[in-house]
Amino acid sequence: SQQGEEDPQALSIQEGENATMNCSYKTSINNLQWYRQNSGRGLVHLILIRSNEREKHSGRLRVTLDTSKKSSSLLITASRAADTASYFCATDPSGGSYIPTFGRGTSLIVHP
């Protein structure tokens, strides 16, 4: 069954603005990962945050995890047109299969 659900489904911003995407999930997890997909291409791993971590940074990316609310957010600061892509969260449910489960993704468009 689907575990992660991204919100919003689509986001359109201007270059230089920040972009925030959210992911909600249903059951306890071991970790949560964010991936990016350019149109018609494979997914590229961005960042992994473990269930005992609350925040993680990688360059212009900031990921938070709130296990009490079963949610995570991905913040892209100072966005660029090249950030235009779909962003997916993948959760690894604890207590069962270790196969990450992906959501439908957030489609981000950054206008130059």
Chain contacts with another protein (rule: CB under 8 A): 2, 30-31, 33, 35, 40-45, 48, 88, 90, 92, 97-105
Q: Name the residue nearer to another protein (CB basis): 33 or 71.
A: 33
Structure tokens at 47: 């960042």
Q: Please report how close the Cβ of residue 17 comes to another protein at its closest, in angstroms.
A: 26
CA pair distance 14, 12, nearest whole angstrom:
7
Q: Name the residue nearer to another protein (CB basis): 15 or 37.
A: 37
14: which residues sit within 8 A by CB, 6+ positions away?
110, 111
CA pair distance 26, 37, nearest whole angstrom:
23
Q: Name the residue nearer to another protein (CB basis): 31 or 67.
A: 31
Contact between 43 and 53 under an 8 Å Cβ cutoff? The reply is no
Q: Please report how close the Cβ of residue 103 comes to another protein at its closest, in angstroms.
A: 6
